[in-house]
Structure 1
């Protein structure tokens, strides 16, 4: 029995290794950001797809979305026919690096704001708990609206929450 399990694991090992290489190859990961040591065009397509899917960056503003698109276009034009950023002049490398950092900053912030957080809570007047799921940005907006409503009702300011 032991030999059969070992043989089946060894037979599946090349398939698992191939899947790891394909998934971690040249694609873009929202957690890691844009990395120009890998294929730029593959990452660009992944970023455009993630912006369009409506989930990964659901809380990105229209202005930030336009900035990301402009930065991607700028990097593409700076890279031109070069295979990597190492083949560029020092001035072009600095510009590419600055655009890369702008993209990473905007997408990281949007990804964090788009993170879904669920809280299990009991509604007032009920003993039955329910799930309340909202993005981080939705929770922040709701907190700000509640504070604004309380301040307008009382006529004076509440202490600011940090």
Structure 2
């Protein structure tokens, strides 16, 4: 009996691990990789995700424009020379720096845009509710609450003096 239960638990764990690996690719942020698929395909996919608002919902307008400008610079550099092989070392360095800028902004924005749902019981009720917020929204709420608490503590300390 023990072996049957253990075997079924191991099989279930393997299926769960495969499901997590497969499901992680659906809404994951993209990274620019000039060695992989064609640059144009990657550029179009990134621009689509930027304008769609789901994958990078927490990206600021300033960062959005930086990504678009860097993509345009890379596109221009690749078109002016016949690919990466035809570039000078200086041009390759500029393209690499733009690529790193894009990857850092999109990675951070993708992580901040990740939706996290929790089930919480409301005070006075036995019925749990589901609350879904992005990582950045949770961070903003926590920082705002800490700021309000510090402000109230200052007011209380001033009143006692």
TM-score, normalised with respect to structure 2: 0.74
1:69-108 maps to which residues of 2 (within 5 A)?
69-82=68-81, 84-108=83-107
Partner Cα distance (1:101, 1:55) in 2: 22
Runs of 4+ residues deviating >3 angstroms? 81-84
1:44 corresponds to = 43
Number of equivalences? 128
Q: CA deviation at 1:91?
A: 1.2
**Ranges in structure 1 where 5+ consecutive residues have no aligned partner:** 1-23, 157-162
Partner Cα distance (1:59, 1:155) in 2: 32
Please list the CA deviations of residues 91-150 of structure 1 after superposition, one character each: whole Å capped at 9, or x if unmatched: 111111110000000000000000000111111111111111000000000001111111
Partner Cα distance (2:132, 2:82) in 1: 44
Deviates more, 1:96-105 or 1:74-83: 74-83
Partner Cα distance (1:52, 1:92) in 2: 28
Whether the 8 Å CA contact 1:36–1:84 is kept in 2: the answer is no
1:22-37 maps to which residues of 2 (within 5 A)?
30-31=29-30, 33-37=31-35
1:54-73 maps to which residues of 2 (within 5 A)?
54-73=53-72
Q: Secondary structure at the match of 2:130?
A: strand
Q: CA deviation at 1:77?
A: 1.2
1:1-40 maps to which residues of 2 (within 5 A)?
30-31=29-30, 33-37=31-35, 38-40=37-39
1:123 corresponds to = 122
Q: CA deviation at 1:86?
A: 2.7
**Ranges in structure 2 where 5+ consecutive residues have no aligned partner:** 1-24, 156-161
Q: Name the Cα RMSD after superposition.
A: 1.7
Q: CA deviation at 1:59?
A: 0.1
More helix by share: 2
